[in-house]
Amino acid sequence: METSAAPALKERPVVLIVEDEPGDAHLIRIQLLERDPRAFEVLMADSLESARRTLAERPEGLPDVVLLDLNLPDSTGLETVRRMRGMVPDAPVVVLTGLDNPAAIGSALQGGAEDYLVKGGDGQTLRRAVRYAMLRHQRDEDARLAETVFTVTDSGIAVVATNGQIQRLNPAFRDMTDLGDDSEGRDRLSDVLLDEDGSRILPDTWPPKMGPEDYWEGEAWNARHGGDRFFTVIRLHAVRREDGSVARYVAVLHDITDRKLNEEKLARQATHDHLTGLPNRFLFLDRSDAALRTAQRYSVRCAMLYVDLDGFKPVNDTLGHAAGDRVLQGVARRLGDAVRSSDTVARLGGDEFAILLPNCTAADAVAMAAKVVDSVRAPFELPEGEARVTASVGIATFPDDGVEAKEILSAADEAMYTAKKTGKNRFSGKDGSETALWLEKNQVPTG
């Protein structure tokens, strides 16, 4: 028998006795209360009409159990049970019969009675029958409620055998995974819960190792059989017998795709520019710190380019801010096309961009700066008209211009202003820097 909490019964249940024989009714009442006068609250009625009036006058609600004689002045046989069930649809009905009549008892049970009792039995049997009827009725109600929840819940539920084989799936589980009824009794849970690359989500060993609260939990991007992606939190609960052994497992899938996408969106908004989709200053510096640690470890060089657009304000003033936004997006695309896959292009704000060049010599940085200047100067064809901007680019390198990300970026910013002061639409190193000296020594055209 699987462990489950027994339904809680009322401390003092209300029993309605519907019996037209005064002696039988009196004896039943005495037997109910002989052990404890407060064990039950007893209501008495000698007909269905009397029972109806008693219930109508009772503001506290319906009884918890009905002890019903089949043959009453205003009703007999199966009709008595049916009419009583109509009055008390949520209370168990125990039929009282004067003799062991299988046919009558069978009809009564089919008509909705919970149990039957032969009159004249002992009090212990009566009390036990009353409590058992209440208990079984409550368990049946709980089972119906559980079945309803199983059917209508948005969470996917799978009942799984101890060997991992699926025994039953609810509609939500089928909808999430596109599994059909033929999966029940055939497929193993670990074979049907797959992530987007086809790998198993559950651990290879079955059953998964349970935590202290007797469940295993995981989360992953799943792939439906139709190919759609959805993100789930998966919980596998052990259902144990009274001796502690596992009777079966219940797997619960919660589709949290919308929440996951919102979390990813918020995370991206914290690290990316909303207009261009490029990394923002925070992410740029984070990646720069990582690149500098690698450069120090392997004694290699790296560089940063600071890019500021020339002539961007007139575009905003003449063509409008929407056109200006399209220019910024176009510049972002051009910079992305110009760099290597290992490089990072970021928008720092306004019309300023930065480029991280890991494992890059001074000559490589100069070549990239020239490429950037050349790519930006091409005109942009917009719905509002043609827009032209150019780029002033500052170059700074590690370790010549600094050993920390902010220090090197500041040096590149200073170098960019040198490029602006000397004519714009060009690139430059910081005055007196190794890059500036290298450009001068090699007589590299900077515009």
Radius of gyration from C-alpha coordinates of the chain: 40
Tell me the C-alpha to C-alpha distance, in Å, between residue 36 and each of 15, 26, 51, 124: 14, 16, 25, 12
pLDDT tens-digit profile, the chain (447 residues): 455 555 556 788 999 999 999 999 999 999 999 999 999 999 999 999 999 999 998 877 789 999 999 889 999 888 898 999 899 988 899 988 876 667 777 777 777 788 888 888 898 989 998 999 889 888 888 888 888 888 999 899 999 999 889 899 999 888 887 777 766 666 888 877 777 666 777 777 788 888 788 888 887 777 665 567 778 888 999 999 888 899 999 999 888 888 888 887 888 888 999 999 999 999 999 999 999 999 999 999 999 999 999 999 999 999 999 999 999 999 999 999 999 999 999 999 999 999 999 999 888 999 999 999 999 999 999 999 999 999 999 999 999 999 999 999 999 999 999 999 989 999 998 775 656 666 665 655 655
Domains and CATH numbers, the chain: 14-151 (3.40.50.2300), 156-260 (3.30.450.20), 272-442 (3.30.70.270)
Task: Pick the closest to residue 93 from 134, 139, 124 (CA basis).
Answer: 134
Residue 254, SS3 per DSSP:
strand
- Token pair for residue 215? 């469940």
CA-to-CA distance for 180 and 184, rounded, in angstroms?
A: 8
Q: Distance (Å, rounded) from C-alpha 304 to C-alpha 306? A: 7
In DSSP terms, 412 is beta-bridged to none
| Angle between helices 321-338 and 362-376 in degrees, nearest 10 | 140
> In whole angstroms, what is the distance from residue 54 CA to residue 17 CA?
11
CA-wise closest residue to 229 among 271, 273, 195: 195
Q: At 279, is the secondary structure helix, strand, or coil?
A: strand
